[in-house]
Structure 1
Amino acid sequence: MSVFTGWRAALRIARRDALRAKGRSALVVAMIALPVLGVTAADITYRSAELSPAEQLTARIGSADALYSDPGMGPLQQMPDGDMYNSENSESSDLPNQDVPPIDMHAVFPKGARAISEQSVPASVTTAYGLASADIVELKTSDRMARGKIELVKGAFPRGSGEMVATEPFLKSTGLHVGSDVTVTASGKKYTITGAVELPADLKTKQLYADPGAVIAPWQAMADRDKKVPAPHPGTSQWLVEGAGQAGIVWNDVLTANKAGAVVTSRQVLENPPPDSEIPLLRSYPDYNSGNAGSSETSAALITVVAMAILEIVLLAGPAFAVGARRSRRQLGLLGTCGGDRSQVRAVVLGGGLVLGGVGAVAGVAVGLLLTVAFRPMIENWAGHRFGSLSMRPTELLVIAVLGLITGLLAALAPAIVAGRQSALESLTGRRGVRRSSRVLPVTGACVLVLGIVIAVYGGISGNSTLVAGGSVVAELGLLACIPVIVGLLGRLGRRLPLSPRMALRDAARNRGRTAPAVAAVMAAVAGSVAIATYMSSTLAESDYDYTPMLTQGTIVLSGDGEAVERLPVARAAVEQNMAVTGGRADISRVWAGSDCHVYYEDAEDACGTLELVKPTGKGHTCPLNTKGAKELAARLSAEEHRTMMRSPACVDEYISVGSLSTDSNNIVVGDAALLATYVKLDDPAATAALKAGTPVLLNRAYAQNGEVTLKAVHAYNDKDKKNRKLHPGPARKTTDRLKVYVAKAEYAATPGVRMILPQQTAERLGLHTQPNGSVYAVSHRPTDAEDQRVTAAIEQAGGGIWVQSDSGPNDRGNTILLILTLFAGVVTVGAAAITTGLAKADAEADLTTLSAVGAPPRVRRTLSGFQCLVVALTGVLLGTAAGLVPAVALRLVDLRQSMEQMRLQPMESAYTPIVLPWTAIGLLAVAVPLLAGILAAAFTRSRLTLARRAG
C-alpha cells in the first residue's frame, strides 16, 4: 500500500470517527476555532480601521479634486501632500503675515473649475437645556464634493439660509433632535435642524453645518448695526475644488496656486506625485523629504502578547485529541490486530487532527468574519471613525487558517505518539496501565521558568524589549512544563472536602494529560490579558501623576471680571439651582497693585504695577532640580527620591502649572475661612482662626522664612487710567512688606490656583486694590452638559461676562480596552473550562455510571461537573495572572530606564514609572469567571443518567 493510499484510508477513518462522535468532534472544532476566530476578527478589524492614504484624503477633501486654503503667507512652496510648506520669501517663517492681503481665490482656481467654500465660526446657540458653545461650519453639505467628508445619517441637508444640520454627538449633548430650532444668540437668528450628519473621520465631533452665507453674514450685519453685538471671528476659509477636465488638479495647477500664496491638497498629485526634481521646496530644504518616515519598530507589548497568543493557539486543542484517542483505543487496537503498524495507528490519530483542524480553521475564519461584520458599527464608534472599507487580505486569512490546521496536527501529535506505542492487547482490553510521572520535566520547567524571568527582568533593566518578549515566552514555557506537577498536587487538597469537589480534584490529578493542556490554554489567555491590563493600568497611573489639575477635585469656580461682577448674584443663584452643589460657598476676590491693566506694555511694571510674592533662596526654598548642578544631582537620585523632590514645596510650582483662581500670576487670592473648607480641603482650626484675625494662610511653605513672607508691590498707574493718575501723580511707588503668615502643611503646596489666601482687611491695610471675582463651590460630580447649558443660559440672560470652570480630569481612562481584555480572557476561560468539562464527562462516563449504580444522588453528577470546570478555570486563571505579571513588570522596567535617562538630561522631567495591578480585572478573572464557569457547567449537566447494560 502506497503512502498516499495509507493516508487516504487514515483520513477516511478519522472522518467517520469524527461523524460518529459528534459531540466530542464539536468540542475539538470549538477548541481550534476559538483562537482562529479571535485572530481573524482582530486582523480584519485592524486592517479595516487603518485607513489608506486615499481614504484619509477622502475624509479630508471629500469627493473633490483638491482642497485650497490661504495660510496668509504670500508666495510659498509646498510638498505634494500639502502638509508641509514654507514662505518663498522667508527662510523660517511659516506663520501668517498680517501685512499679506487675503487671496482672491477664485482667480487662483484653474479655468473652468467649480468650488465651494468652507469656513467655521465659534458661536453660542440655544439648546433644549439652555445655551451651549459650538463651532458652526458654513459648507454646502448637499454638494457632491462634500461626500466622504460629511455624510447624512437621517433627515435632509439644508435647503436655505434658515436651516442647519448637526452631528449626532451635538444633538445628544444638547437634547435636540431633527426638527428642533436653534438660535445663534449673537445675531438672534433662528435655524431649523433638518438633518443629522456624521464626519466619517471623527464620529465624536460636535458641530453644526449651514450653507455659506447663512450664519456669518447676518451676524456681521447685526454687529454693524448694533455695536453691543460682538462681531463674529470666523476661521480661515478653505475651498473644495472640482477640476474642469478628467485630469483634475495637476502639479502645475498647484505650483500656480503656490505663487499666489495658496496651499493645495490635490488627489491627482497625491496619486501621481511629481519627481523630487520638480518640487521647489525640496531644492530649498532637502531634509523635508525624510520628515515623514514612520517608525518600523513594533511595540514591545504587542510582540509579547502576539507571542503568547500563538502559544495559546498551540495549546488549546491538546486535551480533546488525548481524550479522543483514548475513546478510540479499541478501534486502534483492532487496526493493529488487522496488520496495521504503529505508523498507521499514528496516521489515524493525526488524520483526526487534520480533519478537525481543517474544519475548525475554516469555521473560525468564517465566524470571525461574520462577527466583525455584525459588530462593525460598534467597533467604529469605539474607534471614533468609520472604516474606509472592510479590508480582508486573503494571504493573511489563509495564513491564519493554515495556522489553525497546523494547530490541529500539533495537538494530535502527542496523542498519536502515545497511541502508536500502546500495545494492541491494552487497547482491546481498555487497560490504561500505570505510569509514573516524569521528574525530569517539572525540574527542567522550573529551571526554564527562572531563566525566563531572569531574561525578561534583565531585558527590562537594560531597555531591550526583544529580551523582554523572549524571556516572557521562555518563562511561560517553563511554567507550562510545571503544570502537570501542579495539577497532580491538586488531588491532595481534597482529602477533607465533600464528595463532589474531592472527586473533581482527584479526577483532575489522575487525568493530567487532559487537565494540564486545558489549564495551560486558560493560563495563556489570561496571561496575555493580565500583561496588557497591568501595563495599561501602570501607564494610566503615570498619566494621572503627570496630569496638572486646574482646580481641586470636586469643585467648580464661578468667576467674572470688570463690570460683569455685578451679575455674580444671578450667576450664583443659577449655579446653586442647577448644579450638584454639596457644600457651602466660598466667595473670592482678586487683588492687585496700581492700575488694573490687561494689555501688554513694554515696561509693564512702570505702566501698570505688579504684585509679587518673593521666594527666598537657600535650602528648602530653591528647587535643587532647577539649579546649576541639577544634572549631577539627578544622576545620583533614584526614581522615588526624584519623585519626592519634585513634589516638595520648593519644586512643585516650578514642575507643574497649578492654574489660577484669579488674574494674579502669583496666585494670591483674597478669601476667608470658607475657602479653606470648600476648596483647599484644609480642616485646621488654627488656620481658620488666623484668617479671622487678619493673618494670611500660606499654602506653599517654600515662600516663608521664619514664619513670614515678603510681598513686593509696585503701585503704578498708566496714562489711560486718568482718575487714578490724577490721584497718584509722579513715578511709581514701590513697597515691600513682611507679613506674618500661618504656614500650612507641605501637602497643600500643590493646591491648584492658590498659593496664599489673603484676608480682606490685610489687603486694605497694605493699600492694595481688591474686587469680588467669583465663588467656589463643592460639587458631587462634574457638571453635565445639561447643567452647564442651563447655567450658561441664565448667565447670558442676565448679561453674560461670567463663566463656570470645572476640571475635566485626566484623559480617556482606557476602561473600554481593559473591559474588552477582561471579557476576552473570560470568554476563553469559560470556553476552555467548559470544553474540558465536557471531555471529562465523556472520558469518565464509565465512572459516572458506576457512581449512579452504587446509589449516589442525582445531584452529584451535576455538582461534579461544576467543580471539574471550576478547578480548571481557577487553576488556569491564577497561573495566568502570575505569568502575565512577568512581561508587564519587565516592560515597565524598560519605561523606567527611558524615564531615568530623560530625567538625567532634563532634571525637571518626571521619572515616576509605577507598577499598578488592575485589581478589578484580576478580581473578575480570579473570582467571577471561575464561579461563572462552574455554575454554567452545573446548570447544563443532566442530573439523571440512563444506565447502560454491561456487556457479558
Structure 2
Amino acid sequence: MSLFTGWRAALRIARRDAMRAKGRSALVVAMIALPVLGVTAADITYRSIDSTEAEQLTAQMGAADALFSDPGMGPLQQMPDGRGYDIAGDERPEGEVPPIDMRTAFPKGGRAISIQSVPASVTTAYGLTNTEIVEFRTSDPMARGKIDLVEGAYPHGNGEMAATEPFLKSSGLHIGSRTTVDSAGRTYTITGVVEQPDDLKSQQLYADPGAVIAPWQAAADRDRKVLPPNTGSTEWLVKGSGSAGIGWGDVLAANKTGALVVSRQVVLDPPPDSEVPMAQSASYSYGNDSGEASAALVTVVAMALLEIVLLAGPAFAVGARRSRRQLGLVGTCGGDRRHVRAVVLSGGLVLGAIGAVTGVAAGLLLTVAFRPLIEDWAGQRFGSLLLKPTELLVIAALGLVTGLLAAFAPAVVAARQSVLESLTGRRGVRRSSRVLPTVGACVLALGVAIAVFGGTSGSSTLVAGGSVVAELGLLACIPVIVGLLGRLGRRLPLSPRMALRDAARNRGRTAPAVAAVMAAVAGSVAIATYMSSSLAESDQDYRPMLSKGTMVVSSTDAKAAERLPLARASVEQHITVTGGHADFSRVWAGSDCNVYYEDESTCGSIELVKPTGKGHTCPLNTKGAKELAARLSAEEHRQMMRSPACTDEYNSWGSLSSDANNIVVGGPELLRTYAKLDDPAAAAALKAGTPVLLNQAYAKDGEVTLKTVHTYNAKDEKNRKLHPGPARTSTDRMKVYVADAEYAATPGIRMILPQRTAERLGLHTEPSGSVYAVPHPPSDAEEQRVSAAIDQAGGGLWLQTERIPGDRESIILLILTLFAGVVTLGAAAITTGLAKADAEADLTTLSAIGAPPRVRRSLSGFQCLVVALTGVLLGTAAGLVPAVALRLVDLHNAMQQMRKEPMESAFTPIVLPWATIGILAVVVPLLAGLLAAALTRSRLTLARRAG
C-alpha cells in the first residue's frame, strides 16, 4: 500500500467516522472554529480601523487637496507631512505676529472654504448647555469624508445648523428642533445629523460661515463685550486649480507667507530630503509600535492554539476509544501502527479543515453584521472593510494545524494499543506517573520564586518568564489534583460522588479541560487584578476639586452674587439634594483683585502663616528629605504624605475659595455639608465667632497667625476710601478650634472664618455661592435645566460638580470576565458531553438497575460543576502570581522615584477584583452545572448489548 493510498483510505475512514458521530464532531469543529472566528474578526477589525495614510488625510481634509492654517509665527519651514515646522531663519520675531492674509498663500486659481470654531452656550430640550459651534460649509463637496451626513439635510443659510448624534442625545434635541445661541441671541433650526468619521463621539454644532460668529461679534460690539479668544483660529480646505493637486512647490511658496500646509499629494508622495529645507537642519522620527502590536498578536494566537489543543484533544481521545474496534480491524487487515495513527490524525485533519473554514467565514460575516456596533465602540468609522487574504489563509492554516496537534497525542495512544485490546474493548490498567507531578511542583515553586524576585528587583522580563514557568508547573500538577478529587466524594451523595470519581478516573479527559479553564481564568484574573490595583493607585493620587458628594453654585462677581437666591431655588427644584445646603462667602484684603486684576501689585493679600518645627513643617520638603525618604517604606511614606503638615504640599487644590490660602467665610452648615465635620463643639465655636481650622499644622498652642496686607487699586474707588494712604500690613494671632487630622485634606478649605470675625479683622467679604450635598453627580439634563434658569436670571453663575473617577475601566473588566466565563462554560460543557459519550455503558447500567431519571441530570450537572470550579480556582491562583509580581515591579520603580523626588507618592496597592473573582468562582460554575443538568435528557433508551 503506497503512502498516498494509505492516507486516502485514512481520510475516507475519518470522514465517515465524523459523519457517524455528529455530536462529537460538532463539538470539535466548534472548539476549532470559535478561536479562529475570534482571531479572524479581530484581524479584520484591526486592519479596517487602522486607517491608511490616504484615509487619515481624507478624515483630516475631506475631498480637498490640502489643509492650510496659520501657526502665527510668520515665514516658516516645515516637513512634508506638516507635523514638524519651525520659524524660517535664525531670527525670532519680536512681539506677536499679526495674522496673515491667507488668500495670498493659496495657489493661483485654487478654491478654499474656511473652518472656524467657537465655544458657546446653546439652549436644549432641558435648558442650556456648553458646546462647540463650527462654522464650516458642510454641504460643499470638499467636506466629504471630513464631515458626512447621517440623516436630514445639510444647513444652508444663516438660520440653520447640523448637529452630531452625541450632542442630540445629550441635549434631547432632534431634527427640526430649534436652538438659540445664548450670547448672540439668535435661533437656528437643526436640519440634519452629521458625523466626523474619525471621531464619532464629538458633541458639536455646524453652521455655514457667517451664520454664528459674525452676528455674535456684532452683538458683542454693540454691548461692548469680547468674544472668546479661540475664535480667531481658522483652517482652510483648499482645492487646486488643476488635476495635479497642490505640490511641494506650492507648499514652499505658502510657507514664505507664514502658512502651514498639509498637502495630500506631498504626504502620499513626499519629495526627497534634498528638497526639504527643514530636513537639512533637523531630524524627525515617529514612534513605531508595530513590534508591540506583533507581540500582542502572537500572544493572542498562541493562547487560541493552546485553548484548542487543550479542549479538542480529549474529544479526539474519546473518539479514538469509541472507534477502537474499527482501529483494531485496521490492524487485522494488515495495517500497522502508522495506519492507525493516520486514521486518528485524519480525523484531526478533516475536522480541523471544517473548523478552520467555518471559523474564517463566520468571522467575516459577523464582522460585517456587527460593523456599526464595532465602529460605535471604537469611536470611528472603518476606512473600508479591509481583508488581507494572506493573513486569513494563515489563520485558517493555524486552525488546521491545531486540529492535527490536538489529534496527535490520541493518535499515538491509539497506535500503541494491541489489536486484542482494541477488539475486546479493554482499556488496560495504567498507573499514573509520579515523576511528572513532582517535576511540576518543583517547576511551580521555581516559577513563583523567579516572578517574585523579578518583582522585587524591578524586572518585568523575569516576572513574565517566572509566571509562564509557574503556570507550566501548575499544568503538570493538574492530573494529580484531578486524581485527588476522587477522594473528596467518599461521604457525598451518589451524583457528586460519581462525578468526582469519574473526573479522577478519566484524567486524560478532565485534566485538559481544567487546564483550558485555568489558562483563560488566569489571564483574566491577572489583568483584572493589575487594573483594579492601578485604578486604586490613581484614585489615591487624584486631587479632587470639591468634597465628595457635594455640588457648588458659585458667582463670578458682586453683581452675579445678587442672583444667587434664584440659582439656589433652581438647584433645589431640578436636582436631588439629600443633605441640605450651606452658603459661603469669599474674603479678601485691600482691593478686590478678583475683579481688578490688571495691576496685581496693588492688591491686598491674606496669608495664614505656617509655624515651623515638628508637626508643622513637612519633613519631605526639607534639606534632608532624600535621606529620610531612603529610610521610609512605601506605607510610612504614604502616612507622612497624608499628614496635615504635608497634605498641603500636594493637595492644596480646591475651587471653593478664591484665596490662595483657602480661607472662606461660613457658618456651621458649611462644616456639616462640605467638610463632613458633624461636631457640635466646632459648630458652637463658629457661632461664638471662633474660626475653625481644618488643617491643624497651621495651629500652635491653639492659635493661628494671620498676616494681612491692606492696600487699594487705583481703579477701585470703594476700597480707596476704605484704605487711604500707603499699604498697611497687620499680623493677628487668634484662637481657633482645631479639627482632627483627617479633615486637613478637605479640598478648597483650610480655615472657616465667621462673618463677624472677618469684619473685626478689617477684611472684606462677599457672598460667593452655596454648597449642596447630593447623592450622585447631576445628569446632563439636570445640569442643563439649572444652567438655563441661571442664564434666565442674568448669568454670571456656574454650577460645578465633582465627578470623582471610578469604574473607568469597568467595560474592559466586564469583557475579561465574560471571556473567562464563556471559556469556562464551553470547556465544562465539552467535558460533560465527552463524559456522557465516554460513559454511555455506565449510564445504561445505572438505568438498568433502577436508578431514577434525575440521577442522569444531576450527574451531568456535577460533572460540569467539578471541571468549572476546579479550573476557576486554579486559574485564580495562577493569575495572582503575575499580577502581584507586576505590582511589585511598580512598587520598586515608585520607591526609586520617591527617593529622587520625596514628594512623589510611592503608594502601590494590590487590590483583588472581588467582583470578577466572585462571578468566576461562584456564578459561572453554578450556571455551568445548572445548564448541564437542564439540557441533559432524563431518560435513556436501553440498547441490547452486542455479543
Displacement of 1:937: 1.2
Q: How does 1:19-34 map to 2 (within 5 A)?
A: 19-34=19-34
The residue that corresponds to 2:682 in the other structure is: 687
- Give, as a single letter, the amino acid of the residue that structure 2 aligns with 1:587: D
In 1, Cα distance between the equivalents of 2:394 and 2:462? Answer: 26
The residue that corresponds to 2:259 in the other structure is: 262
Q: How does 1:476-491 map to 2 (within 5 A)?
A: 476-491=471-486
Cα distance change of structure 1 residues 679 and 878 upon mapping to structure 2, 3 Å threshold:
same
Cα distance change of structure 1 residues 247 and 897 upon mapping to structure 2, 3 Å threshold:
farther
The alignment status of 1:587 with 2:610, answered yes or no, reads no
* Contact in 2 for aligned 1:162/1:190 (Cα 8 Å): yes
Cα distance change of structure 1 residues 858 and 231 upon mapping to structure 2, 3 Å threshold:
closer
- Give, as a single letter, the amino acid of the residue that structure 1 aligns with 2:87: S
The residue that corresponds to 1:129 in the other structure is: 126
1:581 match: secondary structure: coil
The residue that corresponds to 1:68 in the other structure is: 68
Give the root-mean-square deviation of aligned CA atoms.
2.1
Q: How does 1:525-540 map to 2 (within 5 A)?
A: 525-540=520-535
Q: How does 1:730-809 map to 2 (within 5 A)?
A: 730-809=725-804
The alignment status of 1:326 with 2:317, answered yes or no, reads no
1:227-247 CA-to-partner distances (Å, cap 9, x unmatched) read: 479688614011011111222
- Give, as a single letter, the amino acid of the residue that structure 2 aligns with 1:586: A
* Contact in 2 for aligned 1:309/1:528 (Cα 8 Å): no
The alignment status of 1:314 with 2:320, answered yes or no, reads no
The residue that corresponds to 1:632 in the other structure is: 627
2:533 match: secondary structure: helix
In 1, Cα distance between the equivalents of 2:505 and 2:108? Answer: 85
* Contact in 1 for aligned 2:305/2:402 (Cα 8 Å): no
* Contact in 2 for aligned 1:186/1:230 (Cα 8 Å): no
Displacement of 1:15: 1.3
1:680 match: secondary structure: coil
Displacement of 1:629: 2.7
* Contact in 1 for aligned 2:653/2:747 (Cα 8 Å): yes
Cα distance change of structure 1 residues 8 and 463 upon mapping to structure 2, 3 Å threshold:
farther
In 2, Cα distance between the equivalents of 1:629 and 1:671? Answer: 39
* Contact in 2 for aligned 1:32/1:316 (Cα 8 Å): no
In 1, Cα distance between the equivalents of 2:74 and 2:671? Answer: 55
* Contact in 2 for aligned 1:301/1:891 (Cα 8 Å): no
Displacement of 1:369: 2.2
1:883 match: secondary structure: helix
The residue that corresponds to 1:700 in the other structure is: 695
1:518 match: secondary structure: helix
In 2, Cα distance between the equivalents of 1:82 and 1:562? Answer: 48
- Give, as a single letter, the amino acid of the residue that structure 1 aligns with 2:135: E
The residue that corresponds to 1:395 in the other structure is: 390
Cα distance change of structure 1 residues 91 and 547 upon mapping to structure 2, 3 Å threshold:
farther
1:890 match: secondary structure: helix
Displacement of 1:483: 0.9
1:290 match: secondary structure: coil
Displacement of 1:189: 1.3
Cα distance change of structure 1 residues 559 and 227 upon mapping to structure 2, 3 Å threshold:
same
- Give, as a single letter, the amino acid of the residue that structure 2 aligns with 1:276: D
* Contact in 2 for aligned 1:308/1:528 (Cα 8 Å): no
Displacement of 1:572: 0.4
Cα distance change of structure 1 residues 63 and 911 upon mapping to structure 2, 3 Å threshold:
farther
Q: How does 1:240-255 map to 2 (within 5 A)?
A: 240-255=237-252
Cα distance change of structure 1 residues 870 and 255 upon mapping to structure 2, 3 Å threshold:
same
- Give, as a single letter, the amino acid of the residue that structure 1 aligns with 2:593: C
Cα distance change of structure 1 residues 455 and 705 upon mapping to structure 2, 3 Å threshold:
same
| Most deviating of 513-522 and 640-649 | 640-649
1:774 match: secondary structure: strand
* Contact in 2 for aligned 1:559/1:802 (Cα 8 Å): yes
In 2, Cα distance between the equivalents of 1:48 and 1:214? Answer: 37
In 1, Cα distance between the equivalents of 2:239 and 2:226? Answer: 37
In 2, Cα distance between the equivalents of 1:316 and 1:98? Answer: 71
Cα distance change of structure 1 residues 240 and 293 upon mapping to structure 2, 3 Å threshold:
same
* Contact in 2 for aligned 1:300/1:891 (Cα 8 Å): no
The alignment status of 1:571 with 2:567, answered yes or no, reads yes
In 1, Cα distance between the equivalents of 2:292 and 2:17? Answer: 48
The alignment status of 1:559 with 2:540, answered yes or no, reads no
The residue that corresponds to 2:432 in the other structure is: 437
- Give, as a single letter, the amino acid of the residue that structure 2 aligns with 1:421: R
Cα distance change of structure 1 residues 623 and 309 upon mapping to structure 2, 3 Å threshold:
farther
The residue that corresponds to 1:44 in the other structure is: 44
Displacement of 1:624: 2.1
- What are the ranges of 5 or more consecutive residues in structure 2 without an aligned counterpart? none
Corresponding residue to 2:613 among 607, 615, 618: 618
| Most deviating of 402-411 and 858-867 | 402-411
In 2, Cα distance between the equivalents of 1:839 and 1:304? Answer: 29
The alignment status of 1:152 with 2:149, answered yes or no, reads yes
* Contact in 1 for aligned 2:68/2:238 (Cα 8 Å): yes
* Contact in 2 for aligned 1:223/1:231 (Cα 8 Å): no
1:318-363 CA-to-partner distances (Å, cap 9, x unmatched) read: 1101101110111111111111111211111111112112222222
In 1, Cα distance between the equivalents of 2:885 and 2:49? Answer: 30
Corresponding residue to 2:344 among 349, 355, 361: 349
Corresponding residue to 1:217 among 209, 214, 218: 214
Displacement of 1:566: 0.5
2:517 match: secondary structure: helix
The residue that corresponds to 1:829 in the other structure is: 824
The residue that corresponds to 1:379 in the other structure is: 374
Displacement of 1:702: 1.6
Q: How does 1:814-825 map to 2 (within 5 A)?
A: 814-825=809-820
* Contact in 2 for aligned 1:179/1:194 (Cα 8 Å): yes
Displacement of 1:296: 4.6
* Contact in 2 for aligned 1:74/1:87 (Cα 8 Å): yes
- Give, as a single letter, the amino acid of the residue that structure 1 aligns with 2:248: W
Percentage identity across paired residues of the two chains: 79
Displacement of 1:299: 10
Displacement of 1:128: 0.4
Displacement of 1:657: 4.1
* Contact in 1 for aligned 2:599/2:713 (Cα 8 Å): no
Corresponding residue to 2:195 among 185, 194, 198: 198
Displacement of 1:305: 6.7
- What are the ranges of 5 or more consecutive residues in structure 1 without an aligned counterpart? none
* Contact in 2 for aligned 1:301/1:532 (Cα 8 Å): no
The alignment status of 1:339 with 2:369, answered yes or no, reads no
1:611 match: secondary structure: strand
In 1, Cα distance between the equivalents of 2:371 and 2:149? Answer: 19
In 2, Cα distance between the equivalents of 1:654 and 1:392? Answer: 55
The residue that corresponds to 1:408 in the other structure is: 403
The alignment status of 1:170 with 2:167, answered yes or no, reads yes
In 1, Cα distance between the equivalents of 2:738 and 2:504? Answer: 66
* Contact in 1 for aligned 2:118/2:228 (Cα 8 Å): no
The residue that corresponds to 1:115 in the other structure is: 112
In 2, Cα distance between the equivalents of 1:50 and 1:273? Answer: 21
1:750 match: secondary structure: coil
Displacement of 1:799: 0.6
In 1, Cα distance between the equivalents of 2:619 and 2:361? Answer: 62
Displacement of 1:631: 2.7
The residue that corresponds to 2:808 in the other structure is: 813
Aligned length: 946
- Normalising by structure 1, we get a TM-score of 0.96
In 1, Cα distance between the equivalents of 2:174 and 2:301? Answer: 45
Cα distance change of structure 1 residues 627 and 590 upon mapping to structure 2, 3 Å threshold:
same
- Give, as a single letter, the amino acid of the residue that structure 1 aligns with 2:869: L
Displacement of 1:717: 0.6
Cα distance change of structure 1 residues 47 and 889 upon mapping to structure 2, 3 Å threshold:
farther
- Give, as a single letter, the amino acid of the residue that structure 2 aligns with 1:52: T
In 2, Cα distance between the equivalents of 1:85 and 1:230? Answer: 29
1:117-168 CA-to-partner distances (Å, cap 9, x unmatched) read: 0000111111101111111000011112111111111111112211110001
2:125 match: secondary structure: coil
* Contact in 2 for aligned 1:634/1:907 (Cα 8 Å): yes
The residue that corresponds to 2:856 in the other structure is: 861
Q: How does 1:415-454 map to 2 (within 5 A)?
A: 415-454=410-449
1:355-388 CA-to-partner distances (Å, cap 9, x unmatched) read: 1122222222222222222222222222222222
2:657 match: secondary structure: coil
Displacement of 1:914: 1.7
In 1, Cα distance between the equivalents of 2:428 and 2:830? Answer: 26
1:593-636 CA-to-partner distances (Å, cap 9, x unmatched) read: 1010137879735x111011111222222222222232333333
The alignment status of 1:181 with 2:178, answered yes or no, reads yes
In 2, Cα distance between the equivalents of 1:309 and 1:100? Answer: 59
